[in-house]
Structure 1
Amino acid sequence: MNSFAANSPLKRFVRYFLYLLGVLLLLIAGLIATYLVSAKSSFSGVVTSATLNQPVQIQFDENDIPHIKAKSQSDAFYALGFLHATERSWQLELSRRLASGRLSEILGERTVSLDRFLRTLGIKYAAEKQYERYPTEIKQLIKAYADGVNAGNQSLGWALPIEYFLTGSQPGHWSPTDSVAWSLMMALDLGDNWQKELFRLELSQYLTTVQVWDVMPPYPGNAPVSNLDFAKLYKELGVYKQSSKSSEKQSQNKQHDPYLLQSTDLQPWISDNQEGLGSNNWVLAGKKTVSGKPLLANDPHLGLSAPSTWYFAHLEAPGLNVIGATLPGIPAVVLGRTTKIAWGFTNTGPDVQDLYLEKIDPNNPNQYIGPDGPLSFLVREEIIQIKDKPPLRFVVKQSQHGPIISDSHARSQKIIDSKRFALALRWTALDTENQTLLGGIMMNRADSMESFKSALRYHYAPMQTVAIADTQGNIALQVAGTTPRRQPGQGLYGVAPALGWERSFDWVSYLPFEQLPSAINPDSGWLASANQQIISNTNPNPLTGDWDLPFRYDRIKSMLEAKDQHDRASMQTMQGDTLSLASVPLMDLFKQAKTNHSLQAAAQSFIQSFDGNMTKDSIGALIFNAWADQLTRTLFSRLGDSFTEEYGRRHFRAALITQASNPNSPWCDVPNTPAVENCQDAANVALDKALADLKERHGNSPSDWQWGQAHQAISEHRPFKGLPILSNFFNVRVPIPGDAFTVNVGRPALNNPTAPYQSNHAASLRAIYDLNDLEQSVFMFPTGQSGWVQSGRYRHLSKAWSDNAFLPLTMNPNQVSREILIKSK
């Protein structure tokens, strides 16, 4: 009986199945082991290349910074491209596809709307036209970089980064115009004007112009830059879709276009034009430093990504010796130093994007009305190949002002009567004269303040405020880039869509370099920028009506002036500062808020002791941010879908402070209730909701709550950031201090329902340059140098970055950890 059972068909099947499973697991383990051994995630050794002129030596120091030593600048940029490909191949591939509108070829339908929008903007199309105008010598350097990228990808062999296997793709060919296109994507990433104009257009449907300014106030202390009643104008022109029941029924019956760009489609790929997405930099002259020579600090704020936006490298060749942060895809050190000069960028935030309402010719939909009569749209056909789906063919139209974005943008179509009007985008970055890469390469060659500022004349977009210091003791601040000349009181000043058929709304000229804001060697001994309003001495008209709030700048200014002399340690302390001046105007409302919530008593001591310092271990910081979030929702959620679409991208803090300063602001009155609530009533309601939300998320004991628990920085991987299991493997997570307004910035993602205080925007790097001895300069960034997820260098810097620690940024390292020699065939 037992013998029969032991040899039963079921038992034999189980044994056979387990045997096959074991063999399969061994095969999988063998494949993984073979892959890990074969993958060149720490590339070293000798490589031969047919496109290299002379041998290049690359030595990696103990902090994994490569030091490229070449006999020509062409070979140096070739080696940089090679490194970008071997260290960040997948990042480059996504950048190439994103800028070209070709993500859907490997990712399928979910990216079609994004591809369509970027094809409509014509990023790659503009890059090709711009590249044609570059000087021959610079073209050769950009091409050498592209050759290096392609050689680097080829050298990886079959064991590519894991992302290629998961998406069933291969590295594509990198062309010189891909580098130009990626520089345009950075300009798009840092541009927010057109989104603000669209929001004002949307609000004008149901608010007066005065109420729109309540929601989007002018810069503190300023009057609105335009006195035009644009809400009345748009309504009189009949710009908006009709909201009658019959038109709603027709809209419902009309076939929905699934490939129109939604607001959420941009977020996984670019920073989605976040308000307050900027940077800090400041520079001190010798009179303000212990050493008697300048100190310069810079921390650009960008969307956090894994791998990092930046890759640090040192390039040395005749006429070139520069170290700092490179941007994979770009042949230059973007932020860094030479042996004689150091620099750092912040986003100036000028208004370089204008939306134009184009009036469609009622007799011919292929034409629109210009100042002198009908004009024909320029058209081109685009074809998007979609993985596992038929291709999408569509027509891109362009007016004299720029591409018609409303044809591919869902929110625009929801707002305007698209049978009568279209929205065109005028944007400086698309100009054929744009030669930003030329400016970057010339900056890397600069050996004096004068030559560096001369290089900045070629920087076109995005406009940046550049802090500069040299070893001679000079300090300077120079705005660089192209922006239209505007006159206050004339037209709309770029705050809302202009009328395309009225010549008075057209751009007339750009500001010359000499009229951009600048300063050199001021009596104060310091200069700083943090995206605040910055006005030129030679042109009193502001570059935009939408500056970021000045809280970070004000805090930097107070810390700089608090000491007579600074050193590198005090600069580091400043970069780690977490006092949020944006909390001060709201503090009385917060501390006087009362509620019947069961946790009010337990939370009260933390509320009363909170001083605005957003440290990781602060309980008061978490309660305050939850309360400010709920108060913002209480005041502005009445805007309906407009608020839902914008909150998160916009923090509404300026509007909140402005309205809360008036105890009886009508915005504090809760709609649809018989009582008339004041702002303290609204603050009470907000605290009740905040405590309820915190209890649900973090438990019943406020003494166990901490800001760092909820406020975690997530460096997100593309495209796996939101996928179960894979996201934990590819994303990099670490608690951080700060908020959207602290010098040590950490902008909460308030529109994230599961983690509203999670931060995806923070300091993408920190650097301090010591002009007394530039070899004592330091840096840090959020992840690691490697783009290979299995590498120990993928995420190893995250905690040090969170703790505001630094690593040396030296051209002469003490140790070499590995080496690559690239030889010509």
Structure 2
Amino acid sequence: MRIALAIIVLIATCGLVYLLDNPIGDLPAIGRLLDPVNGCWASAEPTNKNFAADLKLPQLKQPVTVWMDERLVPHVHADNDHDIYFMEGYLHATFRLWQMDMETRAAAGRICEVVGKKAFDYDREQRRKGMVYAAENSLKAMEADPRTKVMMDAYSEGINAYIAQLKYRDYPLEYKLMGFAPEPWTNIKSALLLKYMADDLTGSPNDIPLTYLRETMSAEMLELLYPERLAGSSPVIPVGTTFEKPSLTVPKAPADTMYPRFKREDFTEEREDGIGSNNWALSGSKTQSGAAILCNDPHLGLHLPSLWYEVQLQAPGMNVYGASLPGAPGVIIGFNDSVSWGFTNNYRDVKDYYLIKKVDGDGGKYWLDGKQVSYQQRLETIVIKNDLTFVDTVKYTIYGPITYDQQFEAEGGLEKPLAMCWMAHKGTNELLAVYMMNRATSYDTWVDGILNFQCPGQNMAFADRKGNVALWGQGQFVNKWQGQGKYIMDGSKSSTKWGELIPMRENPHVLNPAQGFIASANQCVTDATYPYWYDGDFVELRAWRVNQVLTGMQKASINDMFALQNDTYSILAANTLPIMLKNLPDDFKGYEKTYIDNLKKWNYQLAVDSKEGTIFQIWWYCLYNKIWEGIGNVPSQFYPLPERTMQLLAQADTSKTKLPQLEHLNVLMKLSFKQAMDSVAKAEKHGLEWYKVKNTSVKHLTNLPAFSYDQLKIGGWGNTVNAAKGNHGPSWRMVVQMGKEIEAYGVYPGGQSGNPGSKYYADFLPFWTEGKYNKLLFLPNGPKQNDSHLKYTLTAHQ
């Protein structure tokens, strides 16, 4: 009996050991995870941790010194290009390895490998969009240029040098929680990260929704509600700018029909509005110091670990500071000894869809100009954790990959075979633009650099120490005939294919405009005098406010720039609320009348604690939907833009309107206000302060609550300069005064470390939330530094 019992205990013990030391389904090996020496507890970082080190890295060619300041920002000094990018890769991996791993897996459609089948649809769409194909094409261009070849090779070497010395106990916590290990870094991963950003910034073209709308309403109504250029636009390139005579002739639209017909029920896809970025620069004539000031706050998804990693890089011919992307070498947004720059999304359309006519009974061919043409087929192998591997055959046409069809429907159920033609599929080398911008010494050398930046299209702001300010609508664009790519195109006719590329020196740009400043906030790029036709997904509300404030400034200070980046004044509210109140019947009593009286005294600021801001936003939401809910069964996210609605509402208030929805404003206002009051009553239970209702959150990439922050006390919304929405907002606020001594400030919502157990994980978040800034420590280029803000010194040698 004792022997049998001993055997049972032994078997149970062995089974328990096995279960604890091996993953079960999606669960990691619990025993290893809870190991007090090597498991999750090992990831906890002492608050007084010393980051100083003496590293022996045989891959280096010469010694490298890294000074880390009190915010854990590294200031890296190297004596050659190889070593500076090697060390940047090593540092990125040290503090952000898991983030880099997951974001490049996401780009490549490889999330299933680590989380299982729940990511299958996402991974499959990434493959069918041609993400890896695009990265492979760009990698060829990057590795063909000796400068970017050195960047990428050295950067990958640095990451792998860090990975090679890791043991399980050293893994970032997320690897242990998810039960997988780091893999070696390769150059294709950096190329994938850049395509990931390109996809994020060009990922929602209007072809599909506009095709639906074209089938839903008359051409007159379509132009009224969705004009290509909004009346009163404050374009990125100021009105009055003289454009050079174009070297290309703008093509004429083909005579035959280029747009296929669809049924209305084919489309139900949705989009999100209110996303974008701000940048501007003031010449010395408009600043208190007499020096040019550049400001940038790109609006992107808010998450932890943070998107950006602050760094200074010093090497022969380069001393640059700014925001880098973990996973890619160089500084993306920043400044050096001579120049500064910042980006906003350009939103010109660089992604078009083509309806492909398949050959019946032959899955390997499609029709083109009456002939049968063979697809180029690419096998995409999707490895799924704890499941069978899936192999998808993606068919490539002369336009690009067939992204959607009956086997993989577009969002909303569209089953038509649509091929994607995307500028990012080309073999572009944006990394060369980064390399050259980081070393630019003048406006001309900076322009030479940005001309290598082809996709995504960006509005690039510039300021230098000579007082110059400039703005370029930069990217590689196609010389399109009017309407080309605005709707889904007929892929059976080669006349719809993209034609000549516009020479990039003919992209819209301006240097030192008479108004004394340049500014962009995702509005229309030019006025109608620009010689080439284009369309895009432009917004105007933030641009109107930025231009309004900058026009009135004469002796602007750095503090004025801080205030404008954090501005919560709503142009939308200022223009619509008086009309809403004017047409609201005066028969409300009690708490409803109190709300109305308070709205009459409101200052249109969507401030942190503003209850009036909450009431307006809820009322506006109800009104906006009331206006458009009967417009041809159009999905809510295809409704006309808020700024266009604002204009139409103003017209209806003062004259006869063409829209039946706006003929009886008093009825419309009463119905929408009563509906809003129901929502206000529900919200009041948790507090009507604006920050509570909108709930701006910065969540960990895994969405684990313990690693995330919500209910952040920050004002603003998509219709204000401080466009802090629910999970989207200013990802890096930067202000740089390009004087004799460069004075720079910045902040992003997070911290330098990606480790949730580190005090540097989210230590910038309170400053970012409160609209405060860190002063950026820009060290002179040299091997010896004696700044009191420097806390740790890391030396590396062969």
Please say whether Structure 1 and Structure 2 have the same fold, judged by a TM-score greater than 0.5. yes
Q: TM-score, normalised by structure 1?
A: 0.83
Matched, 1:737 2:715: yes
Letter of the 1:544 counterpart: D
Report the CA distance shift for 1:738/1:207 in structure 2 as closer, same or farther (over 3 A).
same
Q: Is the 8 A contact 1:192 1:274 kept in 2?
A: no
Q: Is the 8 A contact 1:284 1:526 kept in 2?
A: yes
SS in 2 for 1:777: strand
Report the CA distance shift for 1:222/1:427 in structure 2 as closer, same or farther (over 3 A).
farther
1:543: which partner in 2? Answer: 534
Structure 1 residue 168: Cα displacement? 0.6
Report the CA distance shift for 1:431/1:446 in structure 2 as closer, same or farther (over 3 A).
same
2:777: which partner in 1? Answer: 810
- Find the aligned partners of 2:728 and 2:208 in 1 and give their Cα distance: 23
Structure 1 residue 242: Cα displacement? 8.1
Summarize deviations over 1:697-730 as a string: whole Å, max 9, x none: 2239xxx622122133212222x22xxxx32433
1:366: which partner in 2? Answer: 364
Report 1:420-819 matches (<5 A): 422-432=417-427, 434-487=428-481, 490=482, 492-535=483-526, 539-549=530-540, 551-592=541-582, 593-594=584-585, 599-638=591-630, 643=635, 646=637, 652-661=641-650, 662=652, 669=661, 678-699=664-685, 705-718=688-701, 720-721=702-703, 726-731=704-709, 733-747=711-725, 759-812=726-779, 813-819=787-793
Summarize deviations over 1:183-222 as a string: whole Å, max 9, x none: 111111011453x211122344544444445654433228
Matched, 1:71 2:79: yes
Q: Is the 8 A contact 1:302 1:761 kept in 2?
A: yes
Report the CA distance shift for 1:414/1:226 in structure 2 as closer, same or farther (over 3 A).
farther
Letter of the 1:178 counterpart: K
Q: Is the 8 A contact 2:696 2:711 kept in 1?
A: yes
Letter of the 1:324 counterpart: G
2:17: which partner in 1? Answer: none
2:159: which partner in 1? Answer: 149
- Find the aligned partners of 1:137 and 1:707 in 2 and give their Cα distance: 49
- Find the aligned partners of 1:298 and 1:583 in 2 and give their Cα distance: 25
Q: TM-score, normalised by structure 2?
A: 0.85
Structure 1 residue 348: Cα displacement? 1.2
SS in 1 for 2:337: coil
Pick from 280, 284, 297 the counterpart of residue 295 of structure 2. 297
Paired positions, count: 734
Summarize deviations over 1:79-136 as a string: whole Å, max 9, x none: 1111111111111011121111110000111111111111112212221232223313
- Find the aligned partners of 1:623 and 1:105 in 2 and give their Cα distance: 46
Structure 1 residue 66: Cα displacement? 0.6
Q: Is the 8 A contact 2:147 2:432 kept in 1?
A: no
- Find the aligned partners of 2:330 and 2:460 in 1 and give their Cα distance: 16
Letter of the 2:156 counterpart: A
Report the CA distance shift for 1:228/1:652 in structure 2 as closer, same or farther (over 3 A).
farther
SS in 1 for 2:332: strand
- Find the aligned partners of 2:659 and 2:160 in 1 and give their Cα distance: 57
Summarize deviations over 1:231-285 as a string: whole Å, max 9, x none: x986xx5544989xxxxxxxxxxxxxxxxx9979xxxxxxxx7434221111111
Report the CA distance shift for 1:145/1:202 in structure 2 as closer, same or farther (over 3 A).
same
SS in 1 for 2:231: coil
Structure 1 residue 157: Cα displacement? 2.9
Report the CA distance shift for 1:107/1:32 in structure 2 as closer, same or farther (over 3 A).
closer
Q: Is the 8 A contact 1:711 1:735 kept in 2?
A: no
- Find the aligned partners of 1:314 and 1:184 in 2 and give their Cα distance: 24
SS in 2 for 1:368: strand
SS in 1 for 2:729: strand
1:172: which partner in 2? Answer: 183
Q: Is the 8 A contact 1:467 1:477 kept in 2?
A: yes
Q: Is the 8 A contact 1:209 1:229 kept in 2?
A: no
Name the % identity. 27
Report the CA distance shift for 1:678/1:504 in structure 2 as closer, same or farther (over 3 A).
farther
- Find the aligned partners of 2:547 and 2:645 in 1 and give their Cα distance: 24
Letter of the 1:308 counterpart: S
Report the CA distance shift for 1:185/1:464 in structure 2 as closer, same or farther (over 3 A).
same
Unpaired runs of 5+ in structure 1? 1-23, 244-260, 265-272, 670-675, 748-758
- Find the aligned partners of 1:29 and 1:169 in 2 and give their Cα distance: 19
SS in 2 for 1:374: strand
Letter of the 2:100 counterpart: L
- Find the aligned partners of 2:571 and 2:251 in 1 and give their Cα distance: 28
Q: Is the 8 A contact 1:104 1:112 kept in 2?
A: yes
- Find the aligned partners of 2:580 and 2:121 in 1 and give their Cα distance: 42
1:202: which partner in 2? Answer: 212
SS in 2 for 1:359: coil
Structure 1 residue 299: Cα displacement? 0.9
- Find the aligned partners of 2:467 and 2:183 in 1 and give their Cα distance: 46
Q: Is the 8 A contact 1:517 1:536 kept in 2?
A: no
Letter of the 2:791 counterpart: S
SS in 2 for 1:739: coil
- Find the aligned partners of 1:133 and 1:626 in 2 and give their Cα distance: 50
Of 79-88 and 205-214, deviating more is 205-214
Structure 1 residue 37: Cα displacement? 5.9
- Find the aligned partners of 2:514 and 2:659 in 1 and give their Cα distance: 45
Q: Is the 8 A contact 2:45 2:757 kept in 1?
A: no
Structure 1 residue 510: Cα displacement? 1.4
Report the CA distance shift for 1:469/1:683 in structure 2 as closer, same or farther (over 3 A).
same
- Find the aligned partners of 1:399 and 1:822 in 2 and give their Cα distance: 50
Matched, 1:54 2:62: yes
1:4: which partner in 2? Answer: none
2:381: which partner in 1? Answer: 383
Summarize deviations over 1:403-457 as a string: whole Å, max 9, x none: 11113653368235x3xxx21111111112x111111111111122111110111
Cα RMSD between the aligned structures? 3.2
- Find the aligned partners of 1:503 and 1:228 in 2 and give their Cα distance: 13
Unpaired runs of 5+ in structure 2? 1-30, 234-249, 780-786
Structure 1 residue 33: Cα displacement? 4.5
Letter of the 1:392 counterpart: F
Summarize deviations over 1:750-776 as a string: whole Å, max 9, x none: xxxxxxxxx211111111111114542
Report the CA distance shift for 1:219/1:81 in structure 2 as closer, same or farther (over 3 A).
same
Letter of the 2:546 counterpart: I
- Find the aligned partners of 1:635 and 1:708 in 2 and give their Cα distance: 27
